A and B are shown apart, each in its own frame.
Chain A
Amino acid sequence: MKKLLGPLAGTALAANVAFADDSTLTIAYNVSLPSWDATVGVSAVNPTIQSIYKSVYDQYIDQNPDLSFRPGLLTEWGWNEDRSKVFMEVREGASWHNGDSVTPADVVWSLERAGKEETGNPIQFLWSTLGNFTVDGNRIEADVLRFDPTIFKWMAFLTAYVLPKDYYTEVGAEGFEKAPIGSGPYKVDEYVANSFVRLKRYDGYWGDAPEFETVIFKFLPDASARVAEVETGASDITLEIPYEEYDRLAAKDGLNGVTTPVSDIGMIFINDVGVMEDANVRKAAAHAINKNLIVDRLLRGYGVPIDTLQAPEYAAFTAETTVAYDPERSKELLAASGYSPDNPVKFKIQTTRGFKPKDYEMIQAVTGMWKRVGIEAEIEVYEIAKHFDLRARDALAPAAFYNWGNSIGDPSTSTGFSMFGPSPHSTWDTDDVDAMIGPLWGEDDEDARIAGYQKVDAYIAENAMVIPLLQFVQPIVYRDGLSVTPHVANFLLPQNVSRN
């Protein structure tokens, strides 16, 4: 028996020694990375894998952990006076992981490629608003073909990564998937799909050198496996675990925890069909929900109740717009439309189950609160793909729970796209709201644009055209000896982790 176990025991010991390796940071990560092209396809618009992309690639413009913007590969940017041109100053001294310099030609190529329909960039509609690029030294200028006031904010958002023109052209799309290079703080050392990626610190990085020489993202979609990884010391840090587990692990010797509200909103979409065309029903539904109770009891306090689609960190947030918890008012509103607890209004509410923390349980609690005032909602569980399909076809149920991420915190990418009728993501389609949002798309006075969205949010809240519930909180657990800076954009960036 001793002979049989000998090799196993030996390797276990070897692994134990390796765990003490201080130059490696192992992250038990919640999603797998399917593709290395951060500008095309499903992965490019998946917010949960941006942390890995941001470790390897640079964005045109970067974001601080509080969502404020800072230079990325562009050091300066802006419009000319009449908003007919943009200028961008490309950083000097940045280089690709193969040693070549990052040039303005790479930036232009990346923007032009993203703007071409045939490339398949899902945000091509935005990148194509710029054209006729010219380069002078490190300065790029381009014509504004269609004015979009958020173009520079988008340069820190989905698909806004600069790729190496010469290398990509040389190896092609498939070659790039197999051997990707970027200009970020880490370079790809080994990647095993659905298992892990190992990154090595890039010594030629233009910014501050990250603390860890090696970073391993282990892809562990199963929350119990992530908990076990960090509890056994096999991983140094993990995220997106149940709040009960977070409380338990954070209180444990050798482990620490940090939570931060992130740019992820839990909301109930309202579809303007059937009984939801009755404002009394919508308002009653909104006033009947005790969001504080949901956060305190179901989420153990890890959530921020909200009344508009703007989280406190977003540009158009205002504490003035509120929707009070008032079940008596709900009863009055319903009575005005002929409904009561004995004669309830009936509709269907859809929700995911297990996609976000306590999503199904939250909707169960909501329907329980509704029942007390005279609303009988039948719960239907759907999967993510079905939600997107129904939303794109404007075929969601009268009420549907889902989440809305908005890591750049602009109101156009929350209220704008979720409430503007012509948007494929909108479930509420009425002329009054469209007339308010429409002019804001092209508003070039930033203060007026933000104020405009605040007015829209107040109008939407007053008429209960959507029911925002809460801002989610990201739990992160890490071992002693580390210091972690959480990111409001929901990123877990290895470059933001250091030793104490």
Chain B
Amino acid sequence: MARLLVTIGSIFLTLLGVSVVTFVILRLVPGDPISMMLPPGATDEVRANLERLYGLDRSIPAQYVIWLRNVAWLDFGMSTQFRLPVMEIILDRLPATLELVLLASLIALALAFAFSILAVWLQVDSATLATDGLAGLAQAIPDFLWALIFILAVTLFAPMMPISGRFDPRTAQDFATNFYLLESLVTFRFDAFAELMRYAVLPALALGLPLAAGITRVLKGALEEAMAQDYVMLAQTKGKSRLGIVLGEALRNAMIPTIALTSVQLTFLIGGTVLIERQFSWPGIGSTAISAVINRDLPLIQGIVLVFALIFILINLASNELYRAADPRLRTAR
């Protein structure tokens, strides 16, 4: 119970710190929303009126206190460019980002586990070389460049693959939630699921490839290290197959560093959605963040940063729990 209270307290303190830093930085960097919306011919009076309307005529501390007071009632303000409540915008677009991140993570984990296990199981130079080479390539190319490569590849080789949006804009969608992929699965609408996947696979792949490379390197190293341990030799003398030992003995121990790395990389993955969503016109929180920054939509930037911070915190907490589950020594340690 005490641990839970400490955890909740630390979450609030972290979010408070993030909100202060973001709020101050956003108001100190050059460029403000009022300058962006001043048309030719606007006078100083027009500027003053707009500053008053958007609450930017007060001091930074006063603006922060007002904002914080409203946030306490879950009112994150109105977006200056979308002219809708910030929280409504975030809740509307977060599912698209979460699904993209989830899919990218699944792709990354599937590729990483497949290549690592294959390389350690086969124990031949060519497999190791191929795995290391592919991992090196995938990691050396950043996600936004993968996106460009995929867009180019579609142009040349697969013109029927969509490169923009989350679904075919010519068709109306009748989902009850914004978790389209999950909802189509849960409701057994496999045709819709396949169509949605067609749109999601390229951005997810672009996002997931560098992560797959990182996990592969760590997992393969950890597996190789585990395979040199005494308990593996014992298993071998018992006549277990090599694949059985990799999966049954080594993999569990190799999971600990892999979980640590994956959780860190997952936060980068969420950050990566900002560019990938823009490139593929994916209507998530990442593309919203970049347009908010370009248009200096201060309330929306503030809200998105807080949500990102909360997600990062939750991922770290989840990875800690996974770490404890995977390593019995942590459960008993004080």
* A193 and B82 contact, Cβ closer than 8 Å, known pairs A7-B191, A12-B160: yes
5 shortest interchain CB distances as A-B pairs: A385-B31, A7-B194, A232-B159, A195-B283, A417-B40
Q: How large is the interface on A (under 10, 10 to 19, 20 to 34, 35 or more residues)?
A: 35 or more
Contact with B along A1-16 (1 / 0, CB 8 A): 0000001101110011
Q: A414 to B169, alpha carbons, bound, how many Å? A: 39
Taken together as a complex, chains A and B put the C-alpha atoms of A481 and B33 apart, in Å, by: 43
- Taking the closest CB of chain B, its distance from the CB of A134, in whole angstroms, is 27
Q: Is the beta-carbon distance between B81 and A120 smaller than 8 angstroms? A: no
- Given A193-B288, A384-B36; 11 other pairs, CB 8 A cutoff: A15-B168, A42-B33, A42-B80, A42-B81, A44-B37, A125-B42, A227-B155, A233-B159, A389-B32, A412-B41, A423-B43
Q: Given the complex, which residues of A lie within 8 Å of B268, measured CB to CB? A: none
CB of B115 closer than 8 Å to a CB of A: no
A190:B283 contact, CB within 8 angstroms: no
Report yes or no: B81 in contact with A34, Cβ–Cβ below 8 A. yes
Contacts A117-B49, A120-B50, A196-B169; is A385 near B194 (CB within 8 Å)? no
Residues of B contacting A340 in the complex (Cβ-Cβ under 8 angstroms): none
Q: Given A34-B82, A388-B36, does the pair A123, B155 have CB atoms closer than 8 Å?
A: no
**A residues 406-430 touching B (CB-CB < 8 Å):** 406, 412-413, 416-418, 422-425
Min CB–CB distance B78 → chain A (angstroms): 9
A446 at the interface (CB under 8 A from B): no
- At the interface, yes or no: B143 with Cβ under 8 Å from chain A? no
- Residues in B with CB closer than 8 Å to A381 are none
- Measured between beta carbons, the chain B residues less than 8 angstroms from A214 are 170
Which A positions have Cβ atoms within 8 angstroms of B?
Answer: 7-8, 10-12, 15-16, 18, 21, 24, 26, 28, 32, 34-35, 37, 40-45, 117-118, 120, 122-126, 158-159, 173-174, 177-178, 190, 192-196, 198, 214, 216, 218-222, 224-225, 227-229, 231-234, 383-386, 388-392, 406, 412-413, 416-418, 422-425
Given A42-B33, A195-B165, A388-B38, does the pair A24, B170 have CB atoms closer than 8 Å?
Answer: yes
Within 8 A of A (CB), among B185-212: 190-191, 193-195, 197-198
Q: Are B148 and A224 in contact (CB under 8 A)?
A: yes
**Min CB–CB distance A271 → chain B (angstroms):** 16
Instruction: Tell me if B287 is interfacial: C-beta within 8 Å of chain A.
Output: yes
A124 touches B281 (CB 8 A): no
With a cutoff of 8 Å between Cβ atoms, the chain B residues found around residue A220 in the complex are 164, 281
Chain B contact residue count (CB 8 A cutoff)? 71
Residues of B with C-beta under 8 A to A8: 194, 197-198
Between-chain CB contacts (< 8 Å), 28 pairs: A11-B191, A18-B170, A35-B83, A41-B37, A42-B33, A42-B81, A43-B81, A45-B37, A45-B39, A122-B39, A125-B45, A190-B169, A194-B282, A194-B283, A194-B284, A195-B169, A195-B283, A218-B165, A222-B151, A224-B148, A225-B151, A225-B280, A234-B164, A385-B32, A388-B38, A389-B31, A390-B30, A413-B41
Binary per-residue interface labels of chain B (299-330) against chain A in the complex, 1 for a CB within 8 Å, 0 otherwise: 00000000000000000000000000000000
Q: Which residue of A lies closest to B148 (CB)?
A: A224
B124, CB-defined interface residue at 8 Å: no
* Chain B 265-300: CB-based contact to A (< 8 A → 1; otherwise 0): 000000000000111111110011001001111000
Contacts of A388 in B (CB 8 A): 31, 35-36, 38
What are the residues of chain B within 8 A of A122 when measuring CB–CB?
37-39, 42, 46, 50
By the criterion CB–CB under 8 Å, are B164 and A225 in contact?
Answer: yes
- Contact in complex: A228, B283 (CB < 8 Å): no
Contact of B40 among A26, A32, A41, A425 (CB under 8 A): A425
Report the minimal beta-carbon distance from B175 to chain A, rounded to whole angstroms: 12
Residues of A within 8 A of B31 (CB): 383-386, 388-389
Pick the contact of B287: A21, A194, A383, A417 (CB < 8 A): A194
Are A385 and B296 within 8 A (Cβ)?
A: yes
Contact across chains for A125 and B43 when beta carbons are under 8 A apart: yes
Which one of B33, B41, B296 lies within 8 Å of A123 (CB-CB)? B41
The residues of A that contact B39 with a CB separation of less than 8 Å are: 45, 122-123, 158-159
Bound: A296/B50 CA distance, A? 43
Whole-angstrom CA separation of A43 from B291 in the bound complex: 12
Measured between C-beta atoms, what is the minimum distance from B29 to chain A in Å? 8
Q: Do B80 and A41 touch (CB < 8 A)?
A: yes
For residue B220, CB closer than 8 A to chain A, the reply is: no
A184 shortest CB reach to chain B, Å: 20
A228 touches B165 (CB 8 A): no
Asked whether B72 is an interface residue with its Cβ less than 8 Å from the other chain, the reply is no
Check: B136 CB closer than 8 A to any chain A CB. Answer: no
> Could you mark each residue 142-156 of chain B with 1 if its beta carbon is under 8 Å from any beta carbon of chain A, else 0?
000000100110110
Most buried by A among B32, B164, B166, B197: B164
Q: Which residue of B lies closest to A148 (CB)?
A: B41
Which residue of the partner chain, among A7, A41, A126, A385, contacts B41 with CB atoms under 8 Å? A126
The closest CB in chain A to the CB of B193 belongs to A7
Given A41-B83, A225-B163, A216:B169 Cβ within 8 A: yes
Given contacts A126-B41, A225-B280, A424-B43, contact A216 B291 (CB under 8 A): no
